[in-house]
Structure 1
């Protein structure tokens, strides 16, 4: 019985912590969600073409702003990588972009 009470007390606390943490970086939320969505909705061929087209092209001003923010805030960078790593790595693996 005590384990069940502990579980019901822990779950709301964890959910609240995740919501509070997610709201800490609203810019990151937008960028990470769009990036993950792009990889999930793109075909392998589209990703190969986009990768080839972007070689040598500098980041847009918006991308530069996000990159600079992540360089100056290690916690933000870690949160971003934690959100995008698995979905993007899985898609790249499916497409043969990584071994």
Structure 2
């Protein structure tokens, strides 16, 4: 999964959310936005985003997910299938 694409949506929300109460709802909302972005993006747009370096916010979001295995699992359980399907359609994964 291409972290830069996914986290372009996730980063701002996770930075604001931190470890606040209601984290599950925030992760659900962010996951829905990520899925929506994948579903509405063309393959060309995804390829362009993939080639760009991660932003500082994206790097912080990745670090947050690395440090919180529960949040990471919840997020990935929601976004993995829709993202993998789109990536497959776009030839980004075999």
Q: TM-score range by the shorter chain?
A: 0.5 to 0.7
Q: In the alignment, is residue 58 of structure 1 matched against residue 67 of structure 2?
A: no
Given the two structures, how large is their TM-score scaled by the length of structure 2? 0.65
Q: In the alignment, is residue 30 of structure 1 matched against residue 26 of structure 2?
A: no
The Cα shift of 1:74 comes to 0.9
Runs of 5+ consecutive residues of structure 1 not aligned to the other structure: 1-22
Separation in structure 2 between the aligned mates of residue 72 and residue 40 of structure 1, nearest angstrom: 28
Over the aligned positions, Cα root-mean-square deviation in angstroms equals: 1.8
Higher relative contact order (CA 8 A, sep 6+): 2
Aligned residues: 73
Separation in structure 2 between the aligned mates of residue 30 and residue 80 of structure 1, nearest angstrom: 10
Give the 4+ runs in structure 1 shifted more than 6 A: none
The Cα shift of 1:24 comes to 4.6
Larger radius of gyration: 1
Given the two structures, how large is their TM-score scaled by the length of structure 1? 0.62
